[in-house]
Structure 1
């Protein structure tokens, strides 16, 4: 592999599409990001226009190449990582979507899930998929589109439509409709794949009324997914050799290759994943058992997952909804102007409560306000809540795993916030490690594609190129930590 070769990693997220160019030393050569429109047709409904996703992805790819000052022909392989569970259905011939993409945050299929719960189907679904029956996952969203888009079910049964999560859709567009595939990590989030077999499950497809003909082929995460075609700004024939859901990608990008290694990504939501190795750990506490990845010619690697729906989104809400500051990064400066929250608690259940509570009907709460409360106290309470939500998840994971987690690796935009990272270490009672490169979601996709294309030989080589930026050591005493957790639990009871 010549030294002029690079890996391109596409990181298609909830609010923006990013492209990163990575060199053989694992260095980030260039990064470009394009935001796109969020669509909220009704309270609790969230959609994206698939064309917006595609155009913003293409723009970020072109811009990243320009910034890196390289041509498309110098790209050895492409990796894709993506917002998971977000799903779309499109026409096999024209590539045109029959409806907007229904986003992972969308709660419109609550009724479908409630009906299945009443029909006592949840136990079977969880046993096969490792997931809890919740509108979060893709199956009920596909069912909704097929039922509500004009003639969609009729066309689906006639073989005219295809479906997929964002990874599959981007692959389809990158390959000019020649490749309809997904990887095990993304498929494991649809609620249609059996995580024991790694294939679509007949009973689940029937239950959600999803014809198998519309679903993509499931492959290992570093498979040969297809070749670029008809892009214009890049040559045809560049291999796409990595696809992995964003949270699993961050786990891979943080080189958490061993069982017991964990990471937390601070994004729109916060997501904690713990590698459980070749073993599916069944959670007694409503956490998800999920596929982390599968490398070619190897067994599947599994993970436990939990997360909060609202993390960085809480800071965005303070900025846009309440107008407390101009830039999201200003929250740290504002929060630092006070020593503590003076009893203010914020439970950011703005779109329900995620793991381990799973209360979709819960709504946000700010309590403990007095005449002396300022916006700085609310800013600090928001940062504390972001860290406390993750403690709930990690403590639960330790119980399920039956052993202590050694350290937590962190990434995502808010991981740059030193105050928040120190809070996370203190409330958790665990050292927190921040890598040099916070774009670990994109790095995971790059590493996966590089392994698939032979750009890197094996995972040992990846371990050697990964670097730490800072370790946050625990400063809080046990007694103070316990008291803090009790105040948080009281606030949660009020939601």
Structure 2
């Protein structure tokens, strides 16, 4: 049988097609950058038709480089940015409006009103999420109220809604479908039933007829096959679809409870596998679906964000001007001894979950005359690690789940000194795969290949893993605890500098995601 898998990754910054073989080796990588439209009012949009043209282009380029027809592929997988919202006409295929991207904040007022009305508990209980402009429900509600003719068409069943995966699937196969992980980021899916929730649809005034079918992440037939007349030129099963962070978790082979993936980007996301049991409960962290394989029970995850990780390092370049580029922070940190009580708390727009203090502001504390710019650089890397430890400690205390090991990827994972500091602060092992750039695409390929028999099971998939480095803590436990105690004291000094009541509400996660988008170079 054919053992090549094409994996389409639609990220916030580009459209990418990666072709993998059965060993997980990349045979072709093609990409086209996106040209988003942003405004100073917090809007961020994409042209859905441009994204589809980019998709056609990368597919053609990959097949040309391989010198193989689309019929040589065993399957197609899709990993897509999770919250971007698209509405289109099912008869013409034309979008009603530009796609609203995840960081867009136009739904913030509506989300703040839901929180004031006491709807946060209901939303979190059903979806694992909190009212925030990041998620698709608010964007869809805004479109339905502001795009002329959309609501009438939606109620007739002529207008379709989808996240980016659904838009790509519809254009590739003609089916209106999404996977359970992407659906879990809409704020309309009930995590317990893995289906659309009537109470939430009524809350956001969404006509059910416009929603896609919800399918498992890995399935041989629910997503359909590519059209022979389309860019693949053949009928190839689309058999694996995941939201991009879940795809990276799957690509990092985090298949057991306690295994975790940390994507080190402009802002960084931590996902911890919690098995077939929801663990978010009363936690301040987000719950989500990690993946679902065929008819097997869904596997859940806890999710948390560390805001402004890569963006904090970039601030040393653009804000303080103490380094010329982010690559210099490693060398500066190596020239410094331990900062000895110097802490940098990068609360530029407040403290995130689990503290959720929008009124906090950043500070550098504990400075004395022997500290210099090298110490500030090292304290910056430690700050990134301490913020992650805050998440890990909250997971342990509130849910009983915490990472037993951390599998890392993203641009920041190449900084060895930074990763060693993370291992020291966390006290757990970090593992870096040989390729940190395309773990999401690889995860979608694994899901697609499992569905059609390229891999027989998860153990067969795990046999393809290759790592470039592992880090273990070099600190003694008492040093780790003393350092963390100092961090907690520093954080307390940053709280409440701004009256949070005077700040916009309902868009904190959207703001964090915007930091990641900007760090990808899409300004």
How does the TM-score come out when normalised to structure 2? 0.85
CA contact (8 A) 1:398 1:404 kept: yes
Find the counterpart in structure 1 of residue 152 from structure 2.
154
2:185 is aligned, of 186, 189, 195, to 189
Match of 1:390 in 2: 388
Superposition pairs for residues 81-480 of structure 1, below 5 Å?
81-175=79-173, 178-223=174-219, 224=221, 225-229=223-227, 233-316=231-314, 328-339=326-337, 345-349=343-347, 353-359=351-357, 361=358, 365-368=362-365, 379-402=377-400, 405-438=403-436, 439-480=438-479
8 A Cα contact 2:262 2:269, kept in partner = yes
2:272–2:402 contact (8 Å) kept in structure 1: no
Residue 374 of structure 1: how far off its partner (Å): 6.8
- Cα displacement (A) at 1:400: 3.1
Give 3-state SS (helix, strand or coil) of 1:108's partner. coil
Distance 1:343 1:251, change over 3 A: same
Shift of 1:62: 3.7
User: What is the aligned partner in structure 2 of residue 484 from structure 1?
Assistant: 483
Cα distance in 2 for residues equivalent to 1:399 and 1:110? 30
Quote the Cα distance in structure 1 between the aligned partners of 2:311 and 2:54: 20
Q: Secondary structure at the match of 1:384?
A: helix
Does the CA-based 8 Å contact 1:21-1:65 persist in structure 2? no
In the alignment, is the contact (CA less than 8 A) between 2:172 and 2:230 conserved in 1?
Answer: no
* SS of the residue 2:38 aligns to: coil
Shift of 1:74: 2.3
Helix, strand or coil at the partner of 1:465: coil
Rounded to whole Å, the distance in 2 between the matches of 1:33 and 1:208 is 36
With over 3 angstroms needed to count, the CA separation of the structure-2 counterparts of 1:181 and 1:232, relative to structure 1, is: closer
Contact 1:79 1:449 in 2 (8 A): yes
Give the deviation of 1:337 after TM superposition.
4.4
State the shift of 1:403 in Å.
5.5
Compared CA separation, residues 30 and 483, structure 1 to 2 (3 A): farther
1:375 Cα deviation (Å)? 6.2
Count of residue correspondences: 490
- Residues in 1 aligned to 2:375 and 2:36: alpha-carbon distance in whole angstroms: 29
Secondary structure of residue in 1 paired with 2:6: strand
Shift of 1:470: 1.4
Corresponding residue of 2:19 = 21
Against the structure 1 CA distance between its residues 322 and 403, is the aligned structure 2 distance closer, same or farther, given a 3 Å change threshold? closer
- Displacement, 1:11? 1.7
Alignment-derived partner of residue 36 in structure 1: 34
How far the C-alpha of 1:31 sits from its partner, in A, is 2.4
What's the CA shift for 1:190?
0.7
CA contact (8 A) 2:71 2:234 kept: no
| TM-score, scaled relative to structure 1 | 0.90
Distance 2:47 2:345 in 1: 30
Of residues 46, 49, 54 in structure 2, which corresponds to 1:48? 46
300 and 319 in structure 1: CA distance in 2 versus 1, 3 angstrom threshold? same
The offset of 1:81, in angstroms, is: 0.8
Contact 1:105 1:351 in 2 (8 A): no
- Secondary structure at 1:226's aligned position in 2? coil
Q: Distance in 1 between matches of 2:351 and 2:85?
A: 22
Whether the 8 Å contact between 1:309 and 1:352 is mirrored in structure 2 is no
1:161 CA displacement = 1.5
Aligned-partner Cα distance in 1 for 2:92–2:315: 38
Give, in whole Å, the separation in 2 of the partners of 1:384 and 1:307: 16
Assess if the C-alpha contact under 8 Å between 1:308 and 1:353 holds in 2: no
Q: Which runs of 5+ in 2 are unaligned?
A: 496-523
CA contact (8 A) 1:14 1:268 kept: no
* 1:62–1:370 Cα change, 3 Å: farther
CA distance in 2, matches of 1:15, 1:72: 26
Partner of 1:77 in structure 2? Answer: 75
Is the 8 Å Cα contact of residues 310 and 351 (structure 1) preserved in structure 2? no
Shift, 1:308, TM fit: 2.4
Residue 350 of structure 1, CA deviation: 5.1
Task: Note closer, same or farther for the CA distance 1:232–1:321 as it changes in structure 2 (3 Å cut).
Answer: farther
The structural deviation recorded for 1:214 is 1.1
1:417-448 deviation digits (Å, cap 9, x = unpaired): 11111111111111111122322211110100
Cα distance 1:6–1:90, how it changes in 2: closer, same or farther (>3 A)?
Answer: same
What SS does the aligned partner of 1:88 have? Answer: strand
Query: Which is worse superposed, 291-300 or 95-104?
Result: 95-104
Rate the CA distance shift 1:135–1:373 in 2: closer, same or farther, 3 A: farther
Query: In 2, Cα distance between the equivalents of 1:245 and 1:435?
Result: 20
- Any idea what the Cα deviations from partners look like across 1:346-381, whole Å, max 9, x if unmatched? 44455654432334x457625347899876555544
- What do the CA deviations read for 1:93-126 (whole angstroms, capped 9, x no partner)? 3333223322222333222122112222221111
Instruction: Name the CA distance, whole Å, in 2 between partners of 1:479 and 1:45.
Output: 47
CA RMSD of aligned residues (A): 2.8
